Chains A and B, each alone.
Chain A
Amino acid sequence: MDMNLTLKIWRQKNASDKGSMVDYKVSDISPDMSFLEMLDVLNEQLINNDEEPVAFDHDCREGICGMCSLYINGEAHGPDRGVTTCQLHMRMFKDGDTITIEPFRATAFPVVKDLIVDRSSFDRIQHAGGFISVNTSGNTIDANATPINKADADTAFEAATCIGCGACVASCKNSSAMLFVGAKVSQFALLPQGKVEATDRVLNMVKQMDDEGFGNCTNTGACEVECPKGISLENIARMNREYLAASLKG
């Protein structure tokens, strides 16, 4: 059955605007729509009324790119588990519901407009060390030629599934980015290709994370629960070990 909903949405003209919550009504929303499609319906309605549409991030709409964000009814990516907002379906809501939609909140994720936040702090953390240096002069060794323990390869791959959406930061009461950085450190720390630069990587990435103004992890575990890719807290523990060992090395 189609639904009629009340939406409470954060509207903010630009980065310097104060912003406020604004109420909207949408009707005839199919339970099979994705959450972003429901927002498309709202925006068409707003455009038809000569009003400014709500700005929100999206790209692949397949749960892969990590662009869509949104804090929906008090949870990053809404009430469903293991999904991004584009994969959240309206069947998770009931006719007559009021849905509160806000941008991800963190000092390190400033609001650009409405529901769009600037997550380039994640990019700068990646630039600080989330890579391996490979000589591509023609004698590059095929990665598959390097024997890797299956369990390590699987764990590294699981860490590498992090799409950098920022739900961990948004969900954490401290706006900590440690699950994201933990995943990015872990995916290399477990593989021989990543060990060469392991010390500099973890020191530089953690420094950049701190410089960006993210909070301290207090192990609430909210990030793990809200992560659309199910990134485990084990990655934070591994980063802690890597960091402490790297600090001792110098």
Chain B
Amino acid sequence: MSGILNSSIGRKFAMALSALFLMFFLLQHFSINILSVFSPETFNDVSHFMGTFPLVQYVLQPVLIFGVVFHFVMGFVLEIKNNKARRISYAKNNGGANSSWMSRNMIWSGAAILAFVCLHFYDFWFPEINTKFIVGDMSGLVDPNNAASGYRYFEELQHKFVDLWRVVLYVVAFVFLALHLLHGFDSAFQSVGANNKYTKGLKRFSKIYAIGIPLGFIFIAVFHFLNH
């Protein structure tokens, strides 16, 4: 077991596990966000539960943050190592003849997603942490002194999508997310050694996931922009 993370296959495996975890998280995140379109009350209730339930806040959230940081750091570490494996580039390289654009540019789509994650944290996560742990307001209410004011989550969500520039940035980021997932989804399964009779079906499902989830997030952002 020793040194597994120092091996190329071990790093691949760890990268794939963090990717599978993040893809599961993305599905869960989408499932909650889409509630904001159909039922603001349910969205508020679920958001409050996720924002205050100790298991989510103090166990799953740190695991998620570790997963995100690990995936990005490992991605850049592997890119640097891979660049060292070919110090002199080809004068002419026809990469499009044998591989997809997405597979060859994971580092760039990943970097775009990282920039988006920073914006997303600035928009939602930091204010949330500030409200709960610095201000000390765990009530989740619009007015913490008035229980009748209702939960603040839906209003905060809608408020963020007032500006067109932010909606455009989110849409662009989700396009990069789709490009990343179009290669990343089934690639993660290959990395953990799962290439078998189910691979064809998995590839079809991966396309549905890779396009469907980001498209859903785009729909949510545009919906709130148009319905504010």
From known contacts A222-B98, A247-B4, infer whether A175 and B82 are also in contact, taking CB-CB under 8 Å.
Answer: yes
Which residues of B lie under 8 Å from residue A226 when comparing CB positions? 98
Name the contact of B194 in the complex, choosing from A206, A225, A237 (C-beta under 8 A).
A237
A-side interface mostly: mixed
* Chain B interface residues (CB < 8 Å from chain A): 1, 4, 7-13, 78, 81-82, 84-95, 97-100, 103-104, 106, 183, 187, 190-196
Cβ–Cβ < 8 Å partners of A216 in chain B = 8, 11-12, 78, 81-82
Q: List 24 A-B contacts (CB under 8 A).
A: A74-B93, A74-B97, A75-B97, A102-B90, A107-B85, A171-B98, A175-B86, A176-B82, A176-B85, A207-B7, A216-B11, A216-B81, A216-B82, A218-B106, A218-B187, A220-B98, A220-B100, A221-B99, A236-B195, A239-B9, A243-B7, A244-B13, A247-B1, A250-B1
With a CB–CB cut-off of 8 A, which chain B residues contact A36? none
Shortest Cβ distance from residue B81 to the other chain A in the assembled complex, whole angstroms: 6
Q: Does A100 lie at the interface of the complex (its beta carbon under 8 Å from any beta carbon of B)? A: yes
Query: What are the residues of chain B within 8 A of A209 when measuring CB–CB?
Result: 8
A102 CA / B11 CA spacing, docked (Å): 31
Q: Which of B7, B91, B190, B191 contacts A102 (CB 8 A)?
A: B91
Contact of A105 among B7, B81, B89, B99 (CB under 8 A): B89
A94: interface (CB < 8 Å): no
Residues of A35-92 at the interface with B, using a CB-CB cut-off of 8 Å, are 71, 73-75, 79
B82 touches A240 (CB 8 A): no
**Once the chains are docked, how many angstroms separate the CA of A178 from the CA of B95?**
18
Nearest CB of A to B20, in Å: 14
Once bound together, how far apart are the Cα atoms of A244 and B10, in whole Å?
Answer: 7
Partner of A217, one of B1, B4, B8, B94: B8
Does residue A21 face the partner (Cβ distance < 8 Å to B)?
yes
Q: Evaluate contact between A218 and B82: CB separation under 8 angstroms.
A: yes
Query: What chain A residues lie within 8 Å of B191 (beta carbons)?
Result: 217, 219, 240
Residues of B within 8 A of A174 (CB): 82, 85-86
Whether A162 sits at the interface, judged by CB under 8 Å, is: no
Q: Would you call A131 an interface residue if the criterion is a C-beta within 8 Å of the partner chain's C-beta atoms? A: no
**Complex contacts, B86 vs chain A, CB 8 Å:** 105-107, 173-175, 215
- Bound-state CA distance A219–B195 (Å) is 12
Is there an interface contact between B1 and A175, defined as CB atoms closer than 8 Å?
A: no
Within A83-133, which residues are at the interface with B (CB < 8 Å)?
A: 100, 102, 105-108
Are A219 and B11 in contact, with the CB atoms below 8 A?
no
Chain B residue numbers with a CB within 8 Å of A158 are: none
A224: nearest chain-B partner, CB-CB: B98
Q: Shortest 3 CB-CB distances between A and B: which pairs? A: A74-B94, A215-B85, A237-B195
A157 within 8 A of B: no
A13 CB within 8 Å of chain B:
no
A210 within 8 A of B: yes
State whether B103 touches A74 (Cβ < 8 A). Answer: no
CA–CA, A247 to B97, complex, Å?
36
Name the contact of B84 in the complex, choosing from A105, A107, A239 (C-beta under 8 A).
Answer: A107
Shortest distance from the beta carbon of A81 to any chain B beta carbon, whole Å = 9
Contact of A244 among B94, B95, B106, B193 (CB under 8 A): B193
CB distance from B12 to the nearest CB of A (A): 6
